[in-house]
């Protein structure tokens, strides 16, 4: 591999690790702000999204520059293409963390409503999927990536159960419809975090093994 290409790929990997760490921290803060009704922490998540957006643009530009200047092939090409895709997935998780933080601010201004344990568990599972997909990326580990993909079904099931429960609660307590609508939105955002983590894991499998598993996992 030419030295210039190797240096650019190393710099790209470092940039992705940095944005991934920021996104992980943002999602963790959003979940903690929800469970603790911490307005200040929720506002930190919203404010911090600007930096994630900025880095996402820089990484995309770096990928395009590498493709244009070096015209990489085989594994190097797959690496750059995978980074292009998962870079967008990471930015979307950052946006979803902001969405959760915004709903948390609304809930914090309303009458206290207990956060169900099942919702907390779902949030932790979605977060663990994100961490797992990122670990798979760092280690170039398709086995770990496949474990993340398999975990998505469980989060989907929890989302369906919570969605039904909150609908039932709205019928029983119409005076709290606004609060339960916020919780409904949060479950949807967490389900989408799990989807994005799955996308990242699938991109890792493509990067390492060279075949697309999206739509036909296994």
**27 and 93 in contact (C-beta within 8 Å)?**
yes
Residue holding tokens 């429960």?
165
Task: Identify the CATH number of the domain in which residue 87 sits.
Answer: 1.20.58.220
Q: What is the mean pLDDT of the chain?
A: 93
Kindly tell me the sign of the dihedral angle through the C-alpha atoms of 175, 177, 180, 186.
Answer: negative
Whether residue 214 lies inside any domain: the answer is no
Whether residue 65 lies inside any domain: the answer is yes
pTM of the model: 0.93
- Domain housing 156: 3-209
Whether residue 53 lies inside any domain: the answer is yes
Two structure tokens written together for 202:
């699938």
Name the residue among 48, 56, 49 with its Cα closest to residue 15: 56
Query: Does residue 114 have a pLDDT over 90?
Result: no
pLDDT tens digits for range 173-195: 898 899 999 999 999 999 999 99
**100 and 46 in contact (C-beta within 8 Å)?**
no
Rounded Cα gap, residues 212 and 112, in angstroms: 46
Whether residue 217 lies inside any domain: the answer is no
Rounded Cα gap, residues 204 and 119, in angstroms: 28
Whether residue 186 lies inside any domain: the answer is yes
Give me the number of domains the chain comprises: 1
């Amino acid at each position: 591999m030419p030295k210039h290409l190797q240096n650019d790929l190393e710099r790209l990997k470092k940039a992705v690790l940095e944005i991934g760490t920021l996104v992980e921290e943002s999602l963790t803060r959003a979940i903690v702000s929800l469970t603790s009704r911490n307005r200040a922490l929720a506002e930190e998540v919203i404010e911090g999204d600007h930096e994630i957006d900025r880095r996402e643009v820089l990484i995309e530009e770096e990928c395009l520059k590498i493709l244009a200047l070096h015209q990489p092939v085989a594994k190097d090409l797959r690496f750059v293409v995978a980074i292009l895709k998962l870079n967008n997935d990471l930015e979307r998780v950052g946006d979803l963390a902001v969405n959760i933080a915004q709903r948390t601010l609304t809930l914090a201004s309303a009458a206290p409503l207990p956060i169900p344990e099942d919702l907390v568990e779902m949030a932790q599972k979605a977060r663990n999927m994100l961490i797992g997909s990122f670990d798979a990326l760092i280690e170039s580990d398709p086995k770990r990536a496949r474990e993340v993909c398999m975990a998505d079904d469980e989060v989907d099931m929890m989302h369906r159960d919570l969605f039904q429960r909150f609908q039932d609660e709205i019928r029983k307590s119409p005076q709290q419809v606004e609060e339960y609508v916020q919780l409904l939105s949060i479950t949807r955002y967490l389900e989408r975090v799990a989807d994005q983590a799955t996308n990242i894991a699938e991109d890792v499998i493509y990067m390492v093994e060279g075949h697309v598993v999206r739509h036909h996992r296994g």
